Structure 1
Amino acid sequence: MRVALVNIGRIVTGDLAAPFATGDAILLEGGKIAALGSLTAAEVAAADVVVDAAGTTAMPGLIDSHVHITFGDYTPRQKVVGFLESYLHGGTTTAITASEVHVPGRPKDPAGVKALALAAAACFRDYRPGGMRVHAGSIILEPGLTEADLAELRSAGIWLAKAGFGAFPTPYDYAPLMRAARRLGMVTTMHTGGSSIPGSSGIWAEHVLAADPTVSFHVNGGPVAMPEEGFARLVHESSVAMQLCTAGNLRTALLTARLLDEAGQPERLLIATDTPTGSGIMPLGMFYTITHLASLGGMPPERAIAAATGNNARVYGLNSGMLAVGRDADVLLVDACAGGSKDDALSAIANGDVPAVSAAFTAGVPRFVGRSRNTPAGIRGVRVAECRLPMDFSGGGH
């Protein structure tokens, strides 16, 4: 499918090094961004679908790097079906599992946790709820697992490893397996902060420094923050990516962002939700944290967007998260909400307003155009201007 987005007001790339792109059009083809900036009349005419962006802002689809995936589009924690598809209507086009710890009666023996990771990954290999891309299957590190076990999983396609819910005597005991996982090329993640569910324990800066994960999960608390002095330690004594979550402590989220900014390392800042949990279902959680950083923390909106898109993509090795030729064609058109005080998406975000999601495209396919069911309408009317795809409503295939 070839989709042309025209009449774009502004292009936010998700790339900290070059947060804006010039031009007013994007061409999506074969699941990738084929052209960015300007399109010829012939390129537009050759498109299967032409979407008039009506002056709205184009940005990458959001990457939520902390979602409690189980099996299918279901969360047993909140007993809700369809939450991932709903998150897509909040602008999240990619979800990354925080490990399948919410599976009822989850196994804790080596064979069981290996099977759980493999089954979860297989469940989402060809399943895209609402069009969302889901990276599932993270091995939960438990006593008894060996480097050979991790190597077996890595060869089977598992590339995520999680520390924080295993039955180790102390959090320091995760370090050998975490280092082994890193050697095998896995992205390693570690619960940070106080206890989040029964059976878990507090993990503080000293534990994270000893394990040296790729990502410090919900560093601002999931939902309880670690002791205050730990934030500066993680910033200055490590290169760990520091993930802020909507379901965490807002004050320490702003503190973390400020410390990384002062250290000149904004690329280490990641945004996620840490949901569904006891905090609930948050289809707009990613945008809430973006607006908190911009309106309360003084962060430029384009940098806050990068923390939710390009920064996550870089740390997790994904091809999405940035608007550039050759990147995955996961794109949002966003706007200021009708009835608000601002007249464009970035101004609304800086004001603390969640923007209207007026269209979402994943893998180059329009998932909805006009408005999201989870945000107010935008002030501009995004529409499908032309559609040359064959449509058959005869029901002959039934």
Structure 2
Amino acid sequence: MPTSPDSAPLITLLRAGRLFAPQPLAETDILIADGRIAALGNGLEVPAGWPLTVVDAGALTAVPAFIDQHVHVTGGGGEGGWGTRCPGISAAEIVSMGIATVVGVLGTDSVSRSPADLLAAVRGLRADGVCAYMYTGAYRVPPPTLTGDLQRDLAWIPEIIGLGEIALSDHRSSQPSPQELARLVSDTRVGAMLAGKRGICHFHLGDGDSGLEPLRRLLTDTEIPPEQVIPTHVNRSPALLDDAADYARTFDACVDVTAFEDPGDGLGAYDAVAALLARGVPAERITMSSDCNGSLPEFDAAGRYQGMRVARNTALIADWQRLVQEAALPMEQAIGLISTRVASVLGLQGRKGRIAAGYDADIALLDDDLQPVKTLVAGRCIFGPGTTGATR
């Protein structure tokens, strides 16, 4: 991400107490040059007189900064009328949770909100120091786009990295046919290929009886690779989670768990990840996201709106911390759930999700309770002591 010359040091030497890259490393010094990691080592030095900023984090643990692949950056909601539109999210709210990268998404409301609004919000977050991308489209089919064509959106707009969140198995869905789904995913794939992107299709799963069957049929009846299809909210109910476990094993596919603050009849992210692991789904096929600033509406059996809460990203970090603290996963595998594996899912694996030479210097510094204390994005500290970013 570009930063102005006076807003970020050219060279930074970060000295941490421990380092997970995501695997544990003996090295604890990270040399950062022009926003990227230049070298790892111990006792690293640079020639006298070079423009250097030293960050002393000897009491903290350095990990790859987190990536949230499902964020309503313009706010979600609206299912209960104009007074139920959720607010957008700020850069400060994002980076305070150790998150350096987000992917913005539109949901139910693509009438008062649009891909153009979403792109403006994404670029605003980038101006404030966060690395932000977006999906084109929304719940409905055919999806709203910026250029009038999915392939052109993917090919011509750098911030667009996929399509989403298309709603399935939900009374708010457009109930797309198998042929419509196949066309959407194929167009996304080709447009992304032209621009050298992964071009994932991010699918919202509701609590309808069909569950993941539309995606099973898509992968069975077409040549679409499973890595392009990402179902989310799979922990909405125990039955859907069982379906997701079978889907992940059958197709060797990734599934995304949502960190609901109050899962209601579903499972929280900690319980959902533990259940997927117990059902034989490898940790490498599970990711977590927040759905933050989206609405958490409640409907009765007839589909009538009953009320709403606004999702936050605090549950994502709390559930992730619990997975490590209660030894459900070792640290290096847990980091994959919200960083390394997410980068791979999004097609950003050559730049993000690892602390290694050549990668973006996106680093979260955690205390002994795994709480983020500092967040660096492209080498720039935009949360915590020594902050230089404008997190409005």
Counterparts in 2 of 1:368-387, with a 5 A limit?
368-370=383-385
Matched residue, 2:70: 66
Which one-letter code corresponds to 1:323 in the other structure?
I
CA distance in 2 between counterparts of 1:328 and 1:13 reads 13
Once the two structures are TM-superposed, the CA of residue 254 in structure 1 deviates from its matched residue by: 2.1
CA distance in 1 between counterparts of 2:144 and 2:89 reads 36
Matched residue, 2:272: 252
Matched residue, 2:215: 208
Once the two structures are TM-superposed, the CA of residue 214 in structure 1 deviates from its matched residue by: 2.2
Once the two structures are TM-superposed, the CA of residue 146 in structure 1 deviates from its matched residue by: 11
CA RMSD of aligned residues (A): 3.3
Which one-letter code corresponds to 1:131 in the other structure?
G
Deviations 1:141-164 (A, max 9, x none): 644569992222222223311221
CA distance in 2 between counterparts of 1:217 and 1:246 reads 11
Once the two structures are TM-superposed, the CA of residue 138 in structure 1 deviates from its matched residue by: 2.2
Which one-letter code corresponds to 1:208 in the other structure?
L
CA distance in 2 between counterparts of 1:363 and 1:6 reads 13
Once the two structures are TM-superposed, the CA of residue 358 in structure 1 deviates from its matched residue by: 2.0
Q: Is the 8 A contact 1:205 1:233 kept in 2?
A: no
Counterparts in 2 of 1:174-213, with a 5 A limit?
174-185=181-192, 186-194=199-207, 204-212=211-219, 213=228
Deviations 1:157-196 (A, max 9, x none): 23311221642356885343224323433211111241xx
Q: Is the 8 A contact 2:204 2:232 kept in 1?
A: yes
**Structure 2 length as normaliser, TM-score?**
0.73
Q: Percent identity?
A: 21
Deviations 1:83-108 (A, max 9, x none): 442121111111112x212657347x
CA distance in 2 between counterparts of 1:307 and 1:44 reads 40
**Structure 1 length as normaliser, TM-score?**
0.72
CA distance in 2 between counterparts of 1:207 and 1:188 reads 13
Task: Give the 3 Å change call, closer, same or farther, for CA 160–24 of structure 1 in structure 2.
Answer: same
Matched residue, 1:50: 54
Question: What 5-or-longer segments of structure 1 have no aligned partner?
Answer: 108-115, 195-200, 337-347, 349-354, 371-382, 388-398
CA distance in 1 between counterparts of 2:49 and 2:284 reads 39
CA distance in 1 between counterparts of 2:144 and 2:46 reads 58
Matched residue, 2:153: 153
CA distance in 2 between counterparts of 1:7 and 1:92 reads 20
Which one-letter code corresponds to 1:231 in the other structure?
A
* 1:128 corresponds to 2:158: no
Q: Is the 8 A contact 2:133 2:161 kept in 1?
A: no
Deviations 1:279-333 (A, max 9, x none): 5343433321212333456211221112111100011012222111111111111
CA distance in 1 between counterparts of 2:286 and 2:187 reads 25
Matched residue, 1:352: none
Question: Aligned pairs, how many?
Answer: 330
Matched residue, 1:266: 283
Counterparts in 2 of 1:1-398, with a 5 A limit?
1-14=9-22, 19-42=23-46, 46-70=50-74, 79-80=86-87, 82-97=89-104, 99-101=105-107, 103=109, 105-106=111-112, 116-125=114-123, 127-128=125-126, 130-140=128-138, 142-144=140-142, 149-157=149-157, 158-162=160-164, 163-164=166-167, 166-168=173-175, 173-185=180-192, 186-194=199-207, 204-212=211-219, 213-221=228-236, 224-227=237-240, 229-247=242-260, 248=263, 249-250=267-268, 251-259=271-279, 262-263=280-281, 265-276=282-293, 277-278=295-296, 279-296=309-326, 298-318=328-348, 319-336=351-368, 348=369, 355-370=370-385
SS in 2 for 1:140: coil
Task: Give the 3 Å change call, closer, same or farther, for CA 146–46 of structure 1 in structure 2.
Answer: closer
Once the two structures are TM-superposed, the CA of residue 252 in structure 1 deviates from its matched residue by: 3.1
Q: Is the 8 A contact 2:73 2:122 kept in 1?
A: no
Deviations 1:260-294 (A, max 9, x none): xx35x322211111222335343433321212333
Which one-letter code corresponds to 2:215 in the other structure?
V
Which one-letter code corresponds to 1:284 in the other structure?
T
Task: Give the 3 Å change call, closer, same or farther, for CA 151–252 of structure 1 in structure 2.
Answer: same
Task: Give the 3 Å change call, closer, same or farther, for CA 365–33 of structure 1 in structure 2.
Answer: same
Q: Is the 8 A contact 2:90 2:125 kept in 1?
A: no
Which one-letter code corresponds to 1:332 in the other structure?
A
Q: Is the 8 A contact 2:256 2:286 kept in 1?
A: yes
Q: Is the 8 A contact 2:203 2:230 kept in 1?
A: yes
Task: Give the 3 Å change call, closer, same or farther, for CA 325–146 of structure 1 in structure 2.
Answer: same
CA distance in 2 between counterparts of 1:202 and 1:47 reads 61
SS in 2 for 1:367: strand
CA distance in 2 between counterparts of 1:44 and 1:9 reads 24
Task: Give the 3 Å change call, closer, same or farther, for CA 246–10 of structure 1 in structure 2.
Answer: same
Task: Give the 3 Å change call, closer, same or farther, for CA 27–311 of structure 1 in structure 2.
Answer: same
CA distance in 1 between counterparts of 2:210 and 2:131 reads 30
Task: Give the 3 Å change call, closer, same or farther, for CA 121–137 of structure 1 in structure 2.
Answer: farther
Question: What 5-or-longer segments of structure 2 have no aligned partner?
Answer: 1-8, 77-82, 193-198, 220-227, 297-308
